[in-house]
Structure 1
């Protein structure tokens, strides 16, 4: 498989090196198993002769013409973790030029993949319109507002739609590398995952910090504060809207636009977060249920299993 990594100035060092190290390890393991031909031909290209990483290292790159023979072009993240920094980065001349190249390569039949903030470049190129996609959960509100035609699911770690693939936050570069590897050899991908101690992470849901997302919008931030103070009371859309001096429809629509979920679903996220914290403190589950608005622990157990895929025993073991 011929892979081309498109690196731009201020590239996220970990994202770039994770991709390179994972495919390099795959080639080494394949050679050790007697494979005379490296399964992955990986090249790093850029718009100049070198790129400067976010940590200040200079990395040599090949010219973008090398992409012509690629099966996939992979876009690692830029180092722009906050919305205002990312918006500024998307206005850079080199980023705009790279977006044009991505559009042309995709039109020529080359697969295009992006991880974390790299997914924003695919969206800028219009390659995600009408498709399911994922991105770093921390910037999902900005993504939804900027690209309303994309069917974003920020709980996904990988979203693959034909010749376009997106991956989640930061270490999602690992998941993307393994996904690409599986297209060539599922057995080798499994071996690399075991060799490098890469755990399966099918979802970002367990990593999302609800109050971080709430800060993306003033109304949702106020709703988050109201919700935390009413976890023990249960949820009422009418009461929440009245407390915030908006209509229920306004609150519902704003939550969907910013968070990609209903106010009730966000309220449930806050419940789960509180439950996990109390479990880590060793609290009894019956007491915890009362603190988050449930009459008994059975309902809470079902919620945990449904939302996290794990029961109380597993959570206690993980949080110890």
Structure 2
């Protein structure tokens, strides 16, 4: 079982701490088994979390056999680096190949340990100028939700930390497990943000129990066809104008934009589970041409179909 160690430093931000606890702790595999063993670690027994204190069951030695270490932000991250023994433990883990991720201003801890030198990283946009000034060897990008450098990952604000956790779950266990984890966290299926997300979940958002639900299921089943607005409206038994209004009210998007997301999701599934060529997947997913497929796919996910397959096949 994959072990996740959450490093709680003094003055830890409670929401930053609870984000990985929830995402990894509630994550289950298709057969119902827990996907991760989660440990909370700290340099000392008690850790301040603002209005309360917590007792960490594990010390820094537990970082040595973790597969992933998550470093939440602290209220003092921008003012002073953590204790030397904490930085040494992170450096040792990195040297051993452990995956290390930060949430929000937890990026400052990774930077203090020298783990981000020469790498692109992000943090909360308010703290980004300070990070760039304090650690000039780090390429700070304040316009994205998270940055994945392979072994070392960083996220922006606390909510973006959940995006990052879901991204790591998907890397470890695939899209279906990540989608289930997102639903348990009541996470929006797609977020607007500076970085297009790898994770476009099982299907685009659909309002359960609404009058649109039957037509949305039909659109999902027929995403490979060249559906028109008039055809969708006829299926829904309404006019195109009324359909557009209801779609915006209930899904926050238009029928054709919803359909594009469904096609991208179908293409993701085919890229993950088959050896089909890009040309064949473009046709199966309902894109007019391989070029249109590549353009739309990269716009939604931020990567090309080929790069996506390398990452998630």
| Shorter-chain TM-score above 0.5 | yes
SS in structure 2 at match of 1:61: coil
1:83-232 map, 5 Å: 86-90=77-81, 94-186=82-174, 187-199=176-188, 200-201=190-191, 203-204=193-194
Alignment-derived partner of residue 38 in structure 1: 34
Q: 1:18 to 1:121 in 2, by over 3 A?
A: same
SS in structure 2 at match of 1:178: helix
CA drift of 1:45 comes to: 0.7
Work out whether residues 102 and 154 of structure 2, in 8 Å CA contact, stay in contact via their aligned partners in 1: yes
- Name stretches of at least 5 consecutive residues in structure 2 with no aligned partner: 196-298, 300-313
CA drift of 1:5 comes to: 0.6
CA drift of 1:22 comes to: 1.8
- Name stretches of at least 5 consecutive residues in structure 1 with no aligned partner: 81-85, 206-308, 310-320
Q: Distance in 1 between matches of 2:75 and 2:53?
A: 13
Work out whether residues 46 and 64 of structure 1, in 8 Å CA contact, stay in contact via their aligned partners in 2: yes
Q: Distance in 1 between matches of 2:192 and 2:137?
A: 24
Work out whether residues 102 and 153 of structure 2, in 8 Å CA contact, stay in contact via their aligned partners in 1: yes
The 10-residue stretch of structure 1 (9-18 or 97-106) with the greater mean CA deviation from structure 2: 97-106
Work out whether residues 134 and 154 of structure 1, in 8 Å CA contact, stay in contact via their aligned partners in 2: yes
SS in structure 2 at match of 1:117: helix
Alignment-derived partner of residue 48 in structure 1: 44
CA drift of 1:58 comes to: 2.1
Work out whether residues 6 and 46 of structure 1, in 8 Å CA contact, stay in contact via their aligned partners in 2: yes
Alignment-derived partner of residue 5 in structure 1: 6
Alignment: residue pair count: 195
1:75 pairs with one of 50, 71, 77: 71
CA deviation profile, 1:143-189 (whole Å, cap 9, x unmatched): 11111111111111110112100011122221121122112222111
Query: What's the C-alpha RMSD, in Å, of the aligned pairs?
Result: 2.3
CA drift of 1:10 comes to: 0.8
1:257-276 map, 5 Å: none
Q: Distance in 2 between matches of 1:195 and 1:42?
A: 17
Q: Distance in 2 between matches of 1:57 and 1:49?
A: 10
| TM-score, length-scaled by structure 1 | 0.57
| TM-score, length-scaled by structure 2 | 0.58
